Amino acid sequence: MSTSPSRRIALLFGASVALLAGCGSSSDSGSGGSASAAPAASSKVAVVASTNVYGDIVSRIGGDKVSVTSVISDPDQDPHSYEASPQNQLALSKAKVVVENGGGYDDFVDRMLKSGGNSSAEVINAVKVSGKTAPKGGELNEHVWYDFPTVARIADRISAALGKADPANAALYTRNAGAFKAQLAPLEAKEAQIKKEHAGEGIAITEPVPLYMTAASGLVDRTPAAFSEAVEEGTDVSPKVLQEALALFSGKKVKALVYNEQTSGPQTEKSEQAAKAAGIPVVPVTETLPSGKDYLGWMTSNVDALANALAK
């Protein structure tokens, strides 16, 4: 989300730095989740990812040769209210490779790196890898993990970074990245099929989280910009803008509502209720991996849900 500094992920540096003084002899601990693990023996490459989305991708490429800590891994955690722990700071201080989203989404990673004094880690910034920039007069949509060509490039960067840190297994990382990228191809094919069948059809969103996926599927976001921007910034939506947004459903101007269920509030709940009342399908999406899902399974579910909603 292209959030303002007041809405971005929070970090309590004072508490973290103070507590770190007593953490030097303790064992490392990750934050849980399918892609999280405690940094283990030195024979494994220590990697820290800002979210379990990137943590899972690293795990697919690195296998049992890497130890991955995903800072945000709770599917019920709103990334915008996250407070990093001393354990996260400690893991970052020991990491050989760090994968962050960038684009203002997870600035806490850079702050923790500076605070922990780790200048040797190779940092992969997904937004920089993507090459995406803000449109003229608009804001950058930093949710690049919903853009499959970008994810393929990130996989290559992860493979190269792991190979640099662990040259003996570089060929393995390259093979694993190739296998992972091959599994992205069916997702792009599904998007192409949606585009073939529904190009130009309108959708509504609550926030820009899924827009790379919906745009690749040929769909047009008809949500008033002021609505999604206000929701994203955590500010109130004006009555006029709210009515414009709700009219999309009562007027049957959109085929689906793609709803970020990780950051709901009164305005988004009204949108969801209006869509359901009008018989318009609601497609829930999230920013982090749902429990029990890996990246590929999660994105397959998202694309399938979108296709099914549009077919109704």
68/177 same-domain check: yes
User: DSSP letters along 218-252, please?
Assistant: T-EE-S-HHHHHHHHHT-PPPHHHHHHHHHHHHTT
34/164 same-domain check: yes
Element spanning 300, H or E: helix 295-311
177/34 same-domain check: yes
Q: End of a domain among 155, 183, 211? A: 183
Residue 4 in any domain: the answer is no
138/194 same-domain check: no
Of the listed ranges 32-41, 136-145, 273-282, the one predicted with least confidence: 32-41
CA distance 151 to 53: 10
- Rounded alpha-carbon distances, angstroms, from residue 207 to 3, 28, 113, 181, 263: 11, 35, 29, 27, 9
Q: Could you tell me the pTM of the whole model?
A: 0.85
Q: End of a domain among 138, 158, 183? A: 183
pLDDT band at 86 (very low <50, low <70, confident <90, very high): confident
Domain with 266, as residue range(s), is 186-311
33/179 same-domain check: yes
The CATH number linked to 229 is 3.40.50.1980
109/191 same-domain check: no
Q: End of a domain among 135, 164, 183? A: 183
CA distance 208 to 1: 7
Q: What value does the mean pLDDT take over residues 182-208?
A: 97
Residue 14 reports pLDDT greater than 80:
no
Q: What is the mean pLDDT of the chain?
A: 86
Q: What value does the mean pLDDT take over residues 148-163?
A: 98
67/148 same-domain check: yes
76/25 same-domain check: yes
Residue 17 reports pLDDT greater than 70:
no
174/28 same-domain check: yes
CA distance 312 to 279: 10
Report the pLDDT value the prediction gives residue 30, as an integer from 0 to 100.
38
177/54 same-domain check: yes
41 Cβ contact list (under 8 Å, min separation 6): 67
Q: How many domains does the chain have?
A: 2
